[in-house]
Chains A and B, each alone.
Chain A
Amino acid sequence: MDTVLFVICAIVAIVCAFNLVLQKHPISSALSLIGVMSSLAVLYLLLGAEFMAMAQMIVYGGAVMVLFIFVIMLLNAGTEKNSNKSWFAQIAGLPLLLAFVAVVAFLIRSAVPGLKNVSFGSWWGGTAQNVGRLLFTTYLLPFEIISILILIAILGAVVLAQKEID
């Protein structure tokens, strides 16, 4: 059951990811990205990270992507024009991409030697309680620093918007 769901969602995620790059219209691309985010949420759920799955849906599937779509609709961005692709990208693009993925996989594999295969349903540390406890004990400092960073970003946005109004 878990494996079937995993295969379905993994395929949906990959197809949506390809679609995101291949689509000509920004709205189609944005919707494909939502598909990727949602299927990732299901994958988190399968791995036992319930809270992460819901947060993924609320923050990425919802808020962030709504802003994307909002801006695309507001600017009324049209269909992308087909640029003259360089011969280099056409020939070497796919091999280079595969090589890059292989190198990254190899690096991860060699950096963390004790990696085992993922088995679904074997880990239950992803409840809201566990995440909250970790955030407020072990990872308190990074958590607070990120909060301040986000606050600075908000202030920056306000300052930028203020200039435009004046």
Chain B
Amino acid sequence: MTFVIVSLIKIALVFAVFMTTLAYLQWVERKVLAHIQSRTGPLRVGPHGLMQPLADVLKLLTKEDLLPPYVNRFFYLLAPFIAVSLALITIAVIPFGPHINVFGISTDMQISDINVGVLFPLAIAAVSVYGIALAGWSSNNKYSLLGGLRSSAQMISYELPLTLAIVAPLLLVNHLSFRAIADGQAGYYLGFIPRWAIFQMPFPQIFGFLIFLISAFAETNRIPFDLPEAENELVAGFHTEYSSMKFASFFMAEYANIVNITCVGTVLFLGAWQPLFPAPYSNWVPPLVFLAAGILCFFHGLNPARKNDQITFPIFGVAFLALAALFAIPPLQFILAPLFWFAAKVGLLILVFIWIRGTLPRFRYDQLMHFAWTFLFPCALVNLLLTALLVALFPGNP
């Protein structure tokens, strides 16, 4: 019974945090892109556009839900449902932190730890392509169809290097469960180099991580691989005919997939919640970061660029200082510090996704396929073989 209640509480917590992240990820992306291009981004709705996600949700909910007469109704309605439900499932196997004891209840900071954990996101990713493919086909529109076709071809091609890149760190840690993988990356070489998979001997997985990251861009249909929705050729690709909440579902699925794949990358390559340097010192990083953020806010509040900043920035500053104080309480640190490190790594990866979107142009379709099959796939294969060879030669794992 306790198991059921604890699981329900965990699911509710993870779901709430996940949905908020998805809503605000869009705000973060627009802001970062805007600043990359010397613009200000959303600014009107709420202080610094912070209410923009809520306004967008309201707008999408109240828009007219068009159902074009020429579509294949059943599949047209099914496709966004497949896309969004599959995108929201993967988070169930991601571990956010270590095993904890709270109020006499001992539980993992994870919804469920299955012993073939790594295969689960791959299985979900393998099926989630149907959402896009069906959307493209059922819309009965040549642009949508082309988008759907491109997406299926791209996802099949990039799944290979992605999977091969994922296998290599598994060889180092020798486990399939996400929790065991994260635990296998604990500890430090010489007392300060973390044993994350990208640093782990005998073969650091830096190349594997790069291959994973590149394939992740393709798997989530992001620039520079967003051919399925290339707007200058295909209008909006597979979701051209979708409006209102059905469009929002695809949008949400895209962001959910980004969060999922960055979480998987964090656990597999960046040591999940293991901090960058050993424990007593690393626990003081979160309070210091929030303290710095608070001071920065106060500084900008004193030198306002706009009139409203005089009020809003000090409020943010107080919030950041409160967070710093919260993270500095020693009894809470064993829960909050791992969460901070996990969120920081995922956040950094997401920032890389946005940064690339602001920097790189789109690939041409033949370049995309050529790159996958003649460069990325052989690289992943060589990386895997080298890792396997070195793991076999040095089984002690120094």
Contacts and interface: CB of A to CB of B under 8 A. Distances in A.
Interface of A: 27, 31, 34, 38, 41, 50-51, 53-55, 57-58, 61-63, 65-67, 69-70, 73-74, 76, 127-128
Contacts of A54: 116, 119-120, 122-123
Nearest to B174: A129
A74 B130 CA distance: 15
A66 B137 contact: no
Contacts of B115: 50, 127-128
A62 B121 CA distance: 12
B127 interface: yes
A67 B125 CA distance: 15
Nearest to B114: A50
Given A66-B129, A66-B156, A57 B123 contact: yes
Interface stretch (B97-105, B145-153, B226-234): B145-153
B152 A66 contact: yes
Contacts of B125: 62
B127 A61 contact: yes
B126 A63 contact: yes
B152 A27 contact: no
A66 B123 contact: no
Interface in B149-202: 149, 152-153, 155-156, 159, 176
A8 B243 CA distance: 34
B126 A61 contact: yes
Where chain B touches its partner, the secondary structure class is: helix
Closest 9 pairs (CB-CB, A-B): A62-B126, A57-B123, A54-B119, A50-B116, A70-B152, A58-B126, A73-B137, A58-B123, A54-B116
Given A50-B115, A51-B119, A73 B148 contact: yes
B133 A69 contact: yes
Contacts of A57: 123-124, 126-127
Contact of B130 (A55, A58, A66, A76): A66
B75 interface: yes
Given A34-B130, A38-B127, A67 B149 contact: no
Nearest to B136: A73
Contacts of A50: 114-116
Contacts of B75: 27, 31
B398 to A, nearest CB: 24
Contacts of B137: 27, 69, 73
13 contacts: A31-B130, A31-B134, A50-B115, A54-B116, A54-B122, A55-B119, A57-B127, A58-B119, A62-B129, A66-B133, A69-B137, A69-B152, A70-B153
Residue of B123, B124, B176 most packed against chain A (CB within 10 A): B123
Contact of B123 (A31, A62, A69, A127): A62
Contacts of A51: 116, 119
A77 B258 CA distance: 33
Given A51-B116, A58-B126, A76-B145, 9 more contacts: A31-B130, A31-B134, A54-B119, A55-B119, A58-B119, A61-B127, A62-B125, A62-B127, A69-B130
B137 to A, nearest CB: 5
Contacts of A62: 123, 125-127, 129, 159
Contact of A61 (B123, B136, B149): B123
B366 to A, nearest CB: 14
Contacts of B114: 50
Nearest to A52: B116
Interface string B313-355: 0000000000000000000000000000000000000000000
Contacts of A128: 115-116, 119, 176
Contacts of A53: 116
A62 B160 CA distance: 12
A27 B133 CA distance: 11
A120 B126 CA distance: 27
A74 B137 CA distance: 10
B133 A70 contact: yes
A1 B123 CA distance: 24
